[in-house]
Amino acid sequence: MTLWELVNGHDATVLVFWSSTCPCVRRYQERVDGLMDRYPADKVRVVGISSNAGESYEKALKTARERGVRIPIYRDDGGKLARFLGAKSTPTMVVLGSGGEVRFFGWLDNEHLPGIRAGSRGLTRRLTGSFPGKGSSRPGPRHSGA
């Protein structure tokens, strides 16, 4: 699938650079999958991107299935997309607008240690307010913090 095919028809596309061996990816997965519940599918698309040279696409898909990962995982052969966008670690997240422009680059939230969030300068704060949650006519809750 091309990048244009990923963003076409959506107001925002969330690319989650994903690895089966990254403990942070595993810790964040429930929240990442939750983005699909929080935002309308016709407005926000959420996908995983497997770019790691040392990890086969088959292994990534197998691990995703075993863990019950809900987001689709696509392969970034040779890490071309990761290099183009500047993603150097997982779970880097990039939000692309409908025209492919980068609207956000970073992590889902500002959780520095498991369970301890230091503010919310992450993706969830950027998307909150942009797209009403499913079944809601107003934006989801905002996080406190910087």
Every domain of the chain and the residues it spans: 3-127
In this structure, CATH architecture of domain 3-127: 3-Layer(aba) Sandwich (3.40)
pTM of the model: 0.79
**Residue 2, C-beta contacts closer than 8 angstroms, at least 6 positions apart:** none
Under the banding of pLDDT at 50, 70 and 90, the label for residue 46 is very high
Helices (H), the chain: 3-7, 23-38, 57-67, 80-85, 123-127
Over residues 72-123, the pLDDT tens digits come to: 999 999 999 999 999 999 999 999 998 899 988 888 776 555 555 555 455 6
Under the banding of pLDDT at 50, 70 and 90, the label for residue 62 is very high
